Structure 1
């Protein structure tokens, strides 16, 4: 196997870094495959619910799609719990970091904060403030995160809901994660895109 010549980065040559650049691009090009594999792995994770974490993720995305959400928000619904295995205490931030280079800020913000917003449904059982989310009540994406949690996330633990399989969402995953990362036309958007079904 070909390797670089250096043992310290500061000793690398132009040829070394060009070689690594080619390998890195090949690796980046396979990101959609790794995302799909990570989703499949959610089928064997946190137990106790009536659905697996993968089924919950698929159901959230199915509900978002049925509700008229655009494809970036559907992706957010699909991947919002992707960090549960490796980042159980900050899974929201983990998932948001993964999608940040490829979607508009609204989607990243909603995914990043959904864990806090979900507490409205159960925090009182632990003596915590269920409305801790209200520190963000003046944020432009506050209502979007409430909708995300109410309509798609908290509702998606139903084993009888007609949920789309992962194969249904695979083209969307491949399309979005094949975008140019940090494209200003995407990541600098500051508009809020409401699902068609709830636009006023």
Structure 2
């Protein structure tokens, strides 16, 4: 079953106030900050939508607070795709699917990146397979949407600031709606 805009809004209304695993923000604040960072870098509507929605899988597959502390990888990057595939293009879905692998790649290609990760991101990195080898990183970089996933990953890492001012949820739902409308058959 595909998610509608109302379904997305309802997920955030019902579960967006949950703490974002070990961070000083809620799930909704993290989503809004990710979208705002994408907009600040003049990303396309598709990539702004991906930034806003990239962790929606956490709200669909709720594992409680800070599942990584219990050794649980909730596979959120895969969990949301079946619900969004019918209404959003690959330009949204693939960066979402690849944003965890982008972290693994960045650890392999950027010597300073690992040191920037939060404690929860370090725990989740290990659960997700750890840093890529140089060959794995190069293979990742050849994938369609890899560059978008790397951009999304960096916004994801920075979208954890308490009390950061952002546009509201309706602003980002309008972005998602514009992208959805492009998907509709003419």
Count of residues paired in the alignment:
155
Structure with the higher helix share, 1 or 2: 2
1:1-200, aligned counterparts within 5 Å?
Answer: 31-40=4-13, 41-87=15-61, 89-119=74-104, 120=107, 121=114, 122=122, 126=126, 129-131=130-132, 134=137, 135-150=139-154, 152-177=155-180, 180=183, 183=185
Larger radius of gyration: 1
Asked whether the 8 Å contact 1:43–1:52 carries over to 2, the reply is yes
Query: Larger relative contact order (C-alpha < 8 A, sep ≥ 6)?
Result: 2
Unmatched segments (≥5 aa) in structure 1: 1-26, 186-200
RMSD, aligned α-carbons: 3.1
TM-score normalised to structure 1 length: 0.64
Determine the C-alpha separation between the residues in 1 that align with 2:156 and 2:100.
Answer: 10
How many angstroms does 1:96 deviate by? 2.9
**Residue-by-residue CA offset, 1:76-120 (whole Å, 9 max, x unaligned):** 111111111333622111223333333332321110111232343
Structure 2 counterpart SS, 1:168: helix
TM-score normalised to structure 2 length: 0.68
How many angstroms does 1:178 deviate by? 5.1
C-alpha change, 1:86 and 1:164, in structure 2 (3 Å) is same
Unmatched segments (≥5 aa) in structure 2: 64-73, 108-113, 115-121
